[in-house]
Amino acid sequence: MAKKLIERPGNRHFYPWPLILVSCVDEDGKPNIITIGASSVCCAHPWVIGFAMGVQQYSYELIKRTGDFGVNIPDRAQLAGADYCGGVSGRATNKFEDLGWTPQPPQEIESPLIEECPVSIECKIVQVAHLGNHDWVMGEAQVAWIDEGLLDGNRIAYDRTDPVWSFFGEYWSIGEKIADWHGAK
């Protein structure tokens, strides 16, 4: 396989990240949502989820104040709303009201979740890595709320999901399962 040397690589040279909607709340109880295109599981035990957050973002101010956030995984049906949440500041509007979405009351954190998203996870900040114009915010999952129709026992039946991936300014979906871990040939 021939490879080309890229002397100034950037995020366009990396594979997609799952698109998430991070929910938070201001001091007056007004909920907010920001779309994040760079997120990942950072640790399995304890379960820690991380994402890149612009240091100047309004949502980041809210997250730092409460010390928590909701991770909401949209499916393809919420893509237009997710795109909207990534392009409009919550300083000037209420994105939940704009989209007709419902702030789901949390159990362990202050920030609301998004009822319409099939997966929502309550997280408390455990660490922040300061990296430049973005910080990597890491939160330990407290509880998860999963659409019952996606569950097979306590596991997510991935063939029933329809997640969206962010890939350098584009949205993509995933296809079929191709192998199990340690079983690829």
- pLDDT per residue as tens digits for the range 133-174: 999 999 999 999 999 999 998 888 888 888 888 877 788 887
Cα 129 to the chain's mean position, in Å? 17
Look up the domain containing 88 and give its range: 18-173
What percentage of the chain exceeds 90 in pLDDT?
Answer: 71
In a domain, 133, yes or no: yes
pLDDT at 13: 67
Strand, helix or coil for residue 79: helix
What band does 30 get if pLDDT is binned at 50, 70 and 90?
very high
Domain count across the chain: 1
Neighbouring C-alpha atoms within 13 Å toward the C-beta of 136: 10
Average predicted confidence (pLDDT) for the chain = 91
Residue 163 contacts residue 175 (beta carbons within 8 Å): no
Cα 144 to the chain's mean position, in Å? 13
Element (H, E) at 84: helix 79-85
Q: How many residues does the chain have?
A: 185
What's the CATH code of the domain at 67?
A: 2.30.110.10
3-state helix, strand, coil in the chain (%, to 5): 20, 40, 40
In a domain, 7, yes or no: no
In a domain, 182, yes or no: no
pTM: 0.92
